[in-house]
Amino acid sequence: MSETPLALVTGASRGIGAAIAHVLMPGHQVLLGGRDADVLARRAEELPGARPWPVDLTDFAAVREATAEIDRLDVLVHSAGVAELGRVEETDADSWRRQYEANVIAVVELTRLLLPALRAARGHVVVINSGAGRNANPGWGAYAASKHAVRAFADALRAEEEPNGLRVTTVYPGRTDTEMQRGVIAHEGREYQPENYLRPDSVAEAVLSAVSATPEAHPTEIIIRPRQR
């Protein structure tokens, strides 16, 4: 068995997840999590040593099957998620359910299934949250509620699992130049100005700094914002 640490990054087909997979590669084998097997295969070609891990995280039977053979996991990065914006009066129950299922329940269940593997490695769980996980703005109610919920999950997991050697870091990026963010801009009718947004690489470097922390250090939260210009 290889002694190279193993990392699983969800949402690795694009954006922040892809950037995180890239920065972890020199020191880790990386499982590239996502739904589109073709995209993940192309991404793996760019990252020698990476392997596609095509799973719909809201298909919990498939997740159980896909995690069954992972007996040791050093790093688990939750970067997958969805955002459906709208005022409370415009957001129906199905939208709330979709966002909670993808942004909260999928994170919880994947982590739960992998806890034995993470404990075996005294591993590290990184949850990519959002500024919306700290502040809820008009039109962001359902999404922000899901991000507040996953923040609570990460806090509880940290308190429960630190005695077992696990570290749990929540990263709160501000506005980041991703496809999801551009969709938000279009939804809000604003002009896209790239200089006002973080690069996915910047968020990835923050994740790398947490994962690379010395053993006695536990980086619990990282807040990263675009520099004001």
Two tokens at 70? 């992972």
Distance CA 227, CA 229 (A): 6
Two tokens at 206? 């923050």
Q: What are the catalytic residues?
A: 143
Q: Provide the residue type at 52 as one letter.
A: P
